Structure 1
Amino acid sequence: MILGIDEVGRGPWAGPLVIGAVVLGGAQIEGLTDSKKLSKKRREQLNILIRDQAAGYGLGWVSAAEIDQIGLSESLRLATRRAVEQIKVSYHEIIIDGTINFLDGTSKGQYVTTMKKADLLVPSASAASIIAKVARDSYMAEQDDAYPGYKFSSHVGYGTAVHRAAIDKLGVTPLHRLSFAPLAKYKAPVSIDRSTNLADKATETVSTETTKKIGDRAEDEAANYLVRHGHEILERNWKTKYCEIDIVSLKSGTLYFTEVKYRKSADQGGGIAAITKKKLSQMKFAANYFVQAQQITEPDLLLAVISMTGNPPDVEEFIELK
């Protein structure tokens, strides 16, 4: 069987990079082709069929913050590894769309064939391109609520005139890739103290992000982490006048209600230290309130917390609460 791999989101100014990986096995799905040649409606129809009928599939996500930190080339390799790690069925060959073996140097690299237009010619690669694009487009559409005015659902992060105008008016968000040339001017300015003695090493002061921006970035990375581990994000920052939930997700029939806790460093106790008995009670109330509001019958519920540290924020620990 063939494991097909394709990427979506290499060129946008904002949003994650997503790699799709699919083993179709014996599935015969009509209409598979390059996702860019399909209408949105048809892509979404095929996405459901692929997820239902394929022998195995995976999605590898790399956030904008990670792209800025490690660069696009390494991000492509990282996203590919993350996608392939989710494939639990056997296969005898890996076909990657394009000319670069993103698994080179790994144990899987020897099984790779690179192929131009594989997403058009190889059904499993076509399927990979479809599930990756639908997942990324859906994620970007969700960002309209988090970042009103940017119209992410329309341009999904690409450098359109509308997107450029929004950035000029509103500035950048944690979704933006500041390492990309068109956005380089928005990087935090670096100032050098030139009043020091020439024998001393020049010191650089980098302006710090606001706590809110770092918190937003932490929640973005937490959501990406859950998606990479098989969750479907249902809600983010779900709020009522009585309660709020950071992330609601679904995995294997279980509803997860996840609290995101960020600390600058683990020396401050880590985010999980903030889950007190009172906070746990509030989380239980919010989960039950959500279930009632959505009229979900006989739900399988699970509370969880993601502890984030550092800047850019990184997942320190994911714990399912009993």
Structure 2
Amino acid sequence: MSQALQLATRWAVKQIQTICREKGLHFDEIIIDGMVNFLAGTALEKYVTVMAKADGLIPSVSAASIIAKVARDQFMAEQDTIYPGYGFASNAGYGVARHREAIERLGVTPLHRLSFAPLAKYADNEVKLQAASRKNPKHKPTTTRQIGDASEAVAAEELMRRGHRIIDRNWRTRWCEVDIISMKDDIIYFTEVKHRKNNQAGDGIAAITSHKLHKMKLAVKLYSSRKPGDYRLLAVATTGSPPHVINIVEI
């Protein structure tokens, strides 16, 4: 969990820095609610004040806490329509009894953190990601975001069926984003998922422009600077509602 919090903190601060630059704003303090400085070892460490129970002491931190909770609840309510059966709209992803029972019955989704000890057994590739939007036709995704999430879920499931191990989902930097990062036979694959309502004008792979390809190559360059290895690019085309995979090609 501490690694996830560190990553979330650093992503949040990067976004704030970007907004500040765009609007000509400045900050002179970063207050972290808790006991751990997740920016330790970075250039921003000098701005950090670590404060236990800051959400009850500092008005701006209180406001941020409320915004974060509301945003999380809204996100989980959306995910409940994509992955029905887990009760995300009511439990917000917390490990209550009914949620744990649903995992035993349905398996895990891309939302579940497999580094969490009780879920470690699901890290085995033989346990498929549960693509509820496909298995439950009455719960069809409707918004663009829901369709995108459902498309990525079925793409990840298909890659796993083909022997890939999913390393990351929606890996992003300030400059680029990758839908799925997976590994097979010691090769790391960066996958872009493209969905089209129908394939009358060709599948979604045709929508991968030279600009998008450049972004994918940039992502590989940034990622490989920390983790050298053999990298390949994949494109997955999905169609229909709920989405299903119709094509996977190396690009």
TM-score category of the 2 structures, normalised to the smaller one: 0.5 to 0.7
Structure 1: distance between partners of 2:34 and 2:114 = 26
- CA separation of 1:261/1:116 partners in 2, compared to 1, >3 Å: closer, same or farther? closer
Work out whether residues 262 and 271 of structure 1, in 8 Å CA contact, stay in contact via their aligned partners in 2.
no
Provide the TM-score with structure 2 as the length reference.
0.53
Question: In the alignment, what sits opposite 1:236?
Answer: 146
Q: How far 1:271 moved relative to its partner? A: 3.8
Gaps of 5+ in 1: 1-71, 189-206, 217-232, 239-243, 247-258, 284-303, 311-315, 318-322
How does 1:181-200 map onto structure 2 within 5 Å? 181-188=117-124
How does 1:152-231 map onto structure 2 within 5 Å? 152-188=88-124, 207-208=125-126, 210=128, 213=129
- CA separation of 1:161/1:269 partners in 2, compared to 1, >3 Å: closer, same or farther? closer
How does 1:81-100 map onto structure 2 within 5 Å? 81-87=10-16, 88=20, 89-100=25-36
- Mapped pair 1:144 → 2:54: no
Q: How far 1:267 moved relative to its partner? A: 8.7
Question: In the alignment, what sits opposite 1:278?
Answer: 202
Question: In the alignment, what sits opposite 1:130?
Answer: 66
| DSSP-derived class of the 1:113 partner | strand
Q: How far 1:112 moved relative to its partner? A: 0.9
Structure 2: distance between partners of 1:154 and 1:138 = 11
Q: How many equivalent pairs are there?
A: 172
Work out whether residues 263 and 271 of structure 1, in 8 Å CA contact, stay in contact via their aligned partners in 2.
no
Cα deviation digits, residues 230-251 of structure 1 (max 9, x gap): xxx863217xxxxx987xxxxx
- CA separation of 1:108/1:170 partners in 2, compared to 1, >3 Å: closer, same or farther? same
Deviates further, 176-185 or 143-152: 176-185
| DSSP-derived class of the 1:130 partner | helix
Cα deviation digits, residues 248-276 of structure 1 (max 9, x gap): xxxxxxxxxxx968886899896489999
- Mapped pair 1:77 → 2:6: yes
| DSSP-derived class of the 1:235 partner | helix
- Mapped pair 1:110 → 2:46: yes
Work out whether residues 140 and 156 of structure 1, in 8 Å CA contact, stay in contact via their aligned partners in 2.
yes
Structure 1 or 2: larger strand share? 1
Gaps of 5+ in 2: 133-142, 153-177, 224-232, 235-251
Cα deviation digits, residues 74-133 of structure 1 (max 9, x gap): 222221111011121311111111111111111111111111111111111112212211
One-letter amino acid matched to 1:108: L
| DSSP-derived class of the 1:129 partner | helix
Structure 2: distance between partners of 1:245 and 1:127 = 34
Cα-Cα RMSD: 4.6
| DSSP-derived class of the 1:86 partner | helix
Work out whether residues 98 and 118 of structure 1, in 8 Å CA contact, stay in contact via their aligned partners in 2.
yes
Structure 1: distance between partners of 2:99 and 2:190 = 39
Structure 1 or 2: larger helix share? 2
| DSSP-derived class of the 1:75 partner | helix
Larger Rg: 1
Work out whether residues 80 and 89 of structure 2, in 8 Å CA contact, stay in contact via their aligned partners in 1.
yes
Instruction: Name the structure, 1 or 2, with higher relative contact order (CA <8 Å, separation 6+).
Output: 1
